[in-house]
Chains A and B, each alone.
Chain A
Amino acid sequence: MALEVPENVLLGKLDALAGWCRKNSLWPMPFATACCGIELMATGASRHDLARFGAEVFRFSPRQCDLMIVAGRVVMKMLPVLQRIWQQMHEPKWCISMGACASTGGVFDTYCVVQGVDRFIPVDMYVPGCPPRPEQLMQAIIDLQDKIQRESAVFGTRPGAEDPGADGRGGPPRALRELPILGQAAEFRGPLAEQGKTRGERAS
């Protein structure tokens, strides 16, 4: 005997609802120590518009954040500060290591620069680049949203929920993986493409 469900009722898991809520309202903590911080600011600004992913409210108090973005190199005098801020953030919380310096120390292989913040705090996503483009950081946030959706439980997170998907990065492959570059993909050329003309020819 089937139970009748009205049209405007959706059935789902409570954990999935918690993950859906969490992933779409990330509050980043900008731990910006170097030039990656400039790209981080550009990501939050109007041109790239991080608000599209619900993560535009940067807070400078760790009590109000759940996503730490470490942007830039961390020296050994700064690492205790980083650890204290990380510990002050409330669970559930995530961390993005942005750029070569935060992930590996980058070119600064010297006595005072920590060779990757993941040696001392847990990191969820690594963004390569020196510094990364805002698009790369947004990709990391989108990937992190997938991870949050998979791992979320009503009471905290489920670290064991990691499921390497078909792409090896966990989870089902998303529909939109690579954005076409403006002017190259056919769908962005518009009527000029049909006439076999490029943008340069139009200007002449």
Chain B
Amino acid sequence: MTACDEVVEALRSEWSGLSVSAFRDQVRITVPRDALYGVLARLKHSHGFDFLTDITCVDYLRYAGASDRFMVVYMLTDTRGNRRITVKVPLNEPDLALPTVVPLWEAANWLEREVWDMMGIVFRGHPDLRRILLPEAFTAHPQRKDYPLQGRGERHHFPVIQRGEA
């Protein structure tokens, strides 16, 4: 019994393929990619989840028991009903694309840019999908588990200024 029971019931009556779990009153819904935008729009417009807390991404490479490579996580808050819900969507290579949710929450603009920068998830329809943390010239997505911790030499590619120059 959680605060989001009727939300889950309403979503389940509309979409199939939702997988719901709960831990200490925190409800997690795993949705297929095709249903993602519809579920998020319904949560906002019909159930009052008006605040997008965060968008983040987990790389499950070499994770015991994981079936999907990436899991993009949307954390929503209902500021009037004081409820929270987590929506997760699994992604696998080579098709790492999701629909953008900027039309629903403006806050998604920078959050999706961060996920693109660090994880390489493409958000279709994003108004300005650039890197937000790393330099523009960076080519990799360094928060992926198959990226070496010390990088591939990017930190050494700068001109050297000698004494007496400039």
Q: What is the interface of chain A, defined by CB distance below 8 A to chain B?
A: 76-77, 79-80, 83, 86-87, 91, 109-115, 119-122, 159
Q: Is B154 an interface residue (CB 8 A)?
A: yes
Indicate if the CB atoms of A110 and B150 lie closer than 8 Å: yes
Indicate if the CB atoms of B135 and A83 lie closer than 8 Å: no
Indicate if the CB atoms of B163 and A122 lie closer than 8 Å: yes
> 10 new A-B pairs (CB below 8 Å) besides A86-B161, A87-B165?
A109-B150, A110-B150, A110-B151, A111-B148, A111-B151, A111-B155, A115-B155, A115-B156, A120-B159, A120-B160
Chain B residue numbers with a CB within 8 Å of A76 are 135, 154-155, 158
Q: What is the interface of chain B, defined by CB distance below 8 A to chain A?
A: 133-135, 142, 147-152, 154-156, 158-166
Measured between alpha carbons, how far is A87 from B159 in the docked complex, in Å?
13
Give A186 Cβ to nearest chain B Cβ, in Å. Answer: 45
Measured between alpha carbons, how far is A160 from B4 in the docked complex, in Å?
75
Q: Which residue of A lies closest to B149 (CB)?
A: A110
Chain A residue numbers with a CB within 8 Å of B135 are 76-77
Residue from A80, A87, A91, A112 in contact with B158 in the complex, judged by beta carbons closer than 8 Å: A80
Q: Which residue of A lies closest to B165 (CB)?
A: A87
A-B residue pairs in contact (CB < 8 Å), sample of 24: A76-B135, A76-B154, A76-B158, A77-B133, A77-B134, A77-B135, A79-B158, A80-B158, A87-B161, A109-B149, A109-B150, A110-B151, A111-B148, A111-B149, A111-B150, A111-B152, A111-B155, A112-B151, A112-B155, A114-B155, A119-B160, A120-B160, A122-B161, A159-B164
Q: Which residue of B lies closest to A91 (CB)?
A: B164
Indicate if the CB atoms of B162 and A122 lie closer than 8 Å: yes
Chain A residue numbers with a CB within 8 Å of B147 are 111
Chain B residue numbers with a CB within 8 Å of A109 are 149-150
Measured between alpha carbons, how far is A80 from B137 in the docked complex, in Å?
13
Chain A residue numbers with a CB within 8 Å of B154 are 76, 111-112
Measured between alpha carbons, how far is A79 from B161 in the docked complex, in Å?
12
Once A76-B135, A77-B134, A77-B135 are accepted as A-B contacts, the answer to whether A113 and B163 lie under 8 Å apart by CB is no
Indicate if the CB atoms of B134 and A112 lie closer than 8 Å: yes
Once A77-B135, A112-B134, A112-B142 are accepted as A-B contacts, the answer to whether A120 and B151 lie under 8 Å apart by CB is no
